[in-house]
Structure 1
Amino acid sequence: MDTHGAGWLPKKGNLSNEKAARIKAMRREILLEIARMKEEQNEDRSYRRNPFYPTIERHAREIRKTLAATSAKTNSKLFIDDDLPFLITEKVIREDARIMLYVQKCLELCWYMRMQDPPMVIVTPTKGEEVDKNLFSYHGRRGKTVEVCVWPALLLHENGPLVCKGYVLPEDRKRKK
Structure 2
Amino acid sequence: MSIWKSTRLDDHSVMEESKIYLIEIVFDNAIKGVTSSKMKGDAKKALKYWKSFLKYITELETNNISPNDEKKRMTKDNLEEEHGKLDGQQQQQHTDKSQKTDDDETNEGTKAGTPNRSYNLGRDNCNLKLENESMKRQRPETPNLMKKLRKENDKLKEDVETYKLSISELETRLSSILGSQLTAGNPNIADLSDPYRPTLLGEQFRSLYDNELTDLLAYMEKHDLKEPESIAIMCDIIQNIDEFCLKANNQQVRKLFEMVVDEVRNPEVKQQRNMTCVKYTAQNSVELNALQEKTVERFVLDLHKALSSVSCVSLNQIFDTYFMKEFRTKHGQLTDQCKELNEFVSKAIQLLWMMKGHLPPVVLKWCQPDEPFDKVYFSFYTSTGEKVSQCIWPAVLLHKDGPLIARGIAQGK
TM class by shorter chain equals 0.5 to 0.7
Give the match for residue 120 of structure 1.
362
Displacement of 1:91 in angstroms is: 6.2
1:154 is paired with a residue of what secondary structure? strand
Partner residue of 2:379 out of 137, 140, 148: 137
Q: Distance in 2 between matches of 1:71 and 1:111?
A: 9
The residue correspondences of 1:19-38 to structure 2 (distance < 5 A) are 30=251
Q: Which amino acid aligns with 2:338?
A: D
- Please say if residues 77 and 104 of structure 1, whose CA atoms lie closer than 8 Å, have aligned partners that are also in contact: no
Query: In the superposition, relative to structure 1, how do residues 163 and 80 fare at CA in structure 2: closer, same or farther (>3 Å)?
Result: same
Give the match for residue 77 of structure 1.
317
Give the match for residue 64 of structure 1.
304
- Percent identical: 27
Give the match for residue 169 of structure 2.
none
TM-score when scaled to structure 2?
A: 0.29
Q: Which amino acid aligns with 1:116?
A: H
Q: Distance in 1 between matches of 2:295 and 2:368?
A: 41
Give the match for residue 100 of structure 1.
342
Q: Which has the higher helix share?
A: 2
Query: In the superposition, relative to structure 1, how do residues 128 and 87 fare at CA in structure 2: closer, same or farther (>3 Å)?
Result: farther
Q: Distance in 2 between matches of 1:65 and 1:105?
A: 18
Q: Distance in 2 between matches of 1:150 and 1:162?
A: 17
Displacement of 1:115 in angstroms is: 0.7
The alignment status of 1:151 with 2:402, answered yes or no, reads no
Query: In the superposition, relative to structure 1, how do residues 92 and 119 fare at CA in structure 2: closer, same or farther (>3 Å)?
Result: closer
Give the match for residue 46 of structure 1.
none
- Please say if residues 147 and 169 of structure 1, whose CA atoms lie closer than 8 Å, have aligned partners that are also in contact: yes
2:312 is paired with a residue of what secondary structure? helix
| Residue ranges of structure 1 left out of the alignment (5+ in a row) | 1-26, 35-48, 172-177
The residue correspondences of 1:157-176 to structure 2 (distance < 5 A) are 157-171=399-413
Displacement of 1:142 in angstroms is: 1.3
TM-score when scaled to structure 1?
A: 0.65
Displacement of 1:155 in angstroms is: 0.4
| Residue ranges of structure 2 left out of the alignment (5+ in a row) | 1-247, 256-288
1:73 is paired with a residue of what secondary structure? helix
1:137 is paired with a residue of what secondary structure? strand
Displacement of 1:92 in angstroms is: 4.8
Q: Deviations over 1:29-54 (max 9, x none)?
A: x48x88xxxxxxxxxxxxxx701133
1:94 is paired with a residue of what secondary structure? coil
Give the match for residue 54 of structure 1.
294
Q: Distance in 2 between matches of 1:137 and 1:92?
A: 29
Q: Distance in 1 between matches of 2:396 and 2:327?
A: 23
Q: Distance in 1 between matches of 2:393 and 2:334?
A: 25
Larger Cα-atom Rg:
2
Between 112-121 and 50-59, report the one with greater CA deviation: 50-59
The alignment status of 1:110 with 2:110, answered yes or no, reads no
Displacement of 1:161 in angstroms is: 0.9
Greater than 3 Å deviation, 4+ residue runs: none
Q: Distance in 2 between matches of 1:128 and 1:93?
A: 33
Give the match for residue 277 of structure 2.
none
The alignment status of 1:86 with 2:322, answered yes or no, reads no
Query: Paired residues, what number?
Result: 130
Query: In the superposition, relative to structure 1, how do residues 51 and 93 fare at CA in structure 2: closer, same or farther (>3 Å)?
Result: same
Q: Deviations over 1:98-144 (max 9, x none)?
A: 32122111111111111111110101112122111111111112112
- Please say if residues 362 and 400 of structure 2, whose CA atoms lie closer than 8 Å, have aligned partners that are also in contact: yes
Query: In the superposition, relative to structure 1, how do residues 170 and 118 fare at CA in structure 2: closer, same or farther (>3 Å)?
Result: same
Q: Distance in 2 between matches of 1:124 and 1:111?
A: 18
